[in-house]
Structure 1
Amino acid sequence: MGNLQDIKQQISDGNAVAALASAKAAVRGAPADPSCRSALFSLFAIHGEWARAGEQLENALQLGGDPGLAVYIIILKTISGRDEVLKGLADPHFPAGEDTPAWYPEWKAALNALHGGNPEPLAAVAAERTDVLDSITGFNQEYEFEGFRNCDTRLCGVFEGIFEGKYSWLPFEQVLRISVPARPEMLHDLLWLPVMIHLRKGAPLKGYLFSTYPGTAAHGDDASRLARDTSWNERFESVDLGLGTQLFALGAEVVPVFSLGQCCLGDAPDVTPASPADP
């Protein structure tokens, strides 16, 4: 158990590189222990080594690990789709049978232009959405707010996650209430955060939000990978492209995704949140 305790301390210290080394050592020392395999799965994923993460996840399950981990096999399969969508080369899933939003085709083209090095189309379509996002009112446990957006221009009007087993975008205007755990409980929550979302139309959605921005595993530092910090790409002045923890602007307040809590958008009825579960 020494290596697992080391991992916990190293994560607490913000040292993802050392934690990965300790997880590898833990597996070498106890190859039949599913908890060691599970830890290595999470650390490989935090570092963006998706194939190796998948191998350790399957090993953990075969060795009798928590059956609930099986959902992460589905999640790992969405990673390549996420990359393609953010390059404007593929479409996200829009959950709950919703039609593709009217603004999306131009957004996709703008993401493709950004991938090619031109941020101006994205800046333009984001500006067109400003009035809509600024008009979203809501409240959480602490205060009311007017205006709601993701602080990254690429995702400014959507929740980005895994719903109905697919990489998904959920436009804010379709959302009535989101319930986010008070704090990450598991190491993999630093990547995928379990949530419950109540929609304006249709049944509630259980799934996962991405805790960090696209590209964090490949290009972020330890603080970014462990969802402790957010930095911004300085290549372009007209758009904001984040690495690290996803941030949301609730009016004048900027909060990390972990601090959304019980957040209502618009006038929400009295609904009792259910426990998040599989996407």
Structure 2
Amino acid sequence: MEWLAGKSLDETLQLAQGDVRRAPADPKPRIFLFQLLCVLGSWDRALTQLQVIGELDAASLAMVHTYRAAIAAEETRRAVFAGRIQPLILGQPERWIALMLESLRAGAKGQPEQVRALREEAFELAPTSPGQLEAEQALAFDWLADADPRLGPITDAVIDGKYYWVPFSRIAELTIEAPSDLRDLVWTPTHFRWLNGGESFGLIPTRYPGSDSQADDRIKRSARTEWIPDGGDYIGVGQRVFVTDSAEVSILDLRSLSFTLEADN
């Protein structure tokens, strides 16, 4: 994003806070500050700014509601990836999904061999997801997965204000607009069309869990992805990456995914 060019996040924060102090009744500087605080993972401060924005500008109430829920979902997400709680599952919770969740609990207990065994079994049981995507160019694929082995055949998303795990096998199509706001570096607005014909609007986390705690500003603002050794696997921080049988695509470059799956998958 051009407004961050040449500046660190801390420098940008100082400037943004100055803008708010100079115009405390203007919601626009506060909206930018709110978004920047989300990039930094300063969730409580971001919520405070959201509250004030809602009080200053009734036209922003829909945004306030959407992103208040997204911030709450971040806490749920951290607990899920730490193996402490289970997410909501879109559709029937099949055995392979239970194995993926069990692998997170095993990881929290420091059992890397168990983690690998559970994930291998889950990946064997999970349905493949053939289809096509639109990014810098169109690409057909025989299968698609998240490059992070903690997710694989699943994407996570905030839908109807709640945190979900969404198997790719439940999606007919998803469409994504090009990023236009700073908050898109944290959550990617996504339109889902489901195999059963229903549709939903949601937010896919742009970054992998824990990205906001990394020292590298490029990780925090989804400008790069880094793979960290984790018990024989590699887990991601920074921008989310999807992998197919022939290519990798970062989420901010993705415009659409469509799947050629049967509704009984």
Aligned to 1:123: 116
The counterpart of 1:74, out of the listed 69, 72, 84, is 69
Aligned to 1:207: 202
Aligned residues with identical type, % of pairs? 25
Aligned to 1:242: 236
Query: Is 1:255 matched up with 2:255?
Result: no
Residues 113/133 of structure 1: CA separation in 2 closer, same or farther (3 Å cut): closer
**9-18 or 119-128, larger mean C-alpha shift:** 9-18
What is the CA-CA distance between 1:265 and the residue it aligns to? 1.4
Q: Which consecutive residues of structure 1, in runs of 5 or more, have no partner in the other structure?
A: 1-7, 269-279
Aligned to 1:110: 103
Residues 197/88 of structure 1: CA separation in 2 closer, same or farther (3 Å cut): same
Please say if residues 154 and 168 of structure 2, whose CA atoms lie closer than 8 Å, have aligned partners that are also in contact. Answer: yes
The counterpart of 2:168, out of the listed 155, 166, 172, is 172
- For residue 78 of structure 1, give the secondary structure of its aligned residue in structure 2: helix
More strand by share: 2
Q: Which consecutive residues of structure 2, in runs of 5 or more, have no partner in the other structure?
A: none
Residues 262/10 of structure 1: CA separation in 2 closer, same or farther (3 Å cut): closer
Q: Report 1:3-18 matches (<5 A).
A: 9-13=2-6, 15-18=8-11
What is the CA-CA distance between 1:129 and the residue it aligns to? 3.5
Query: Is 1:45 matched up with 2:38?
Result: yes
| Offset from partner CA, 1:193-251 (integer Å, 9 cap, x none) | 11111111251121110000000001251101111100011343x22211000000022
- For residue 228 of structure 1, give the secondary structure of its aligned residue in structure 2: coil
Letter in 2 for 1:18: E
What is the CA-CA distance between 1:78 and the residue it aligns to? 1.3
Query: Is 1:60 matched up with 2:53?
Result: yes
- For residue 152 of structure 1, give the secondary structure of its aligned residue in structure 2: coil
Please say if residues 216 and 243 of structure 1, whose CA atoms lie closer than 8 Å, have aligned partners that are also in contact. Answer: yes
Q: Report 1:77-156 matches (<5 A).
A: 77-95=72-90, 98-131=91-124, 135-141=128-134, 142-156=138-152
- For residue 242 of structure 2, give the secondary structure of its aligned residue in structure 1: strand
Please say if residues 44 and 50 of structure 1, whose CA atoms lie closer than 8 Å, have aligned partners that are also in contact. Answer: yes
Paired with 2:144 and 2:215, the residues of 1 have a C-alpha distance of 26
What is the CA-CA distance between 1:153 and the residue it aligns to? 0.9
What is the CA-CA distance between 1:131 and the residue it aligns to? 4.2
What is the CA-CA distance between 1:50 and the residue it aligns to? 0.5
What is the CA-CA distance between 1:105 and the residue it aligns to? 2.9
Residues 104/53 of structure 1: CA separation in 2 closer, same or farther (3 Å cut): same
Residues 184/177 of structure 1: CA separation in 2 closer, same or farther (3 Å cut): same
Paired with 1:10 and 1:205, the residues of 2 have a C-alpha distance of 31
**80-89 or 115-124, larger mean C-alpha shift:** 115-124
**187-196 or 132-141, larger mean C-alpha shift:** 132-141
**14-23 or 200-209, larger mean C-alpha shift:** 14-23
Report the TM-score, using the length of structure 1 for normalisation: 0.85
What is the CA-CA distance between 1:120 and the residue it aligns to? 2.5
Residues 146/192 of structure 1: CA separation in 2 closer, same or farther (3 Å cut): same
Runs of 4+ with >3 A deviation = 129-135
What is the CA-CA distance between 1:9 and the residue it aligns to? 4.7
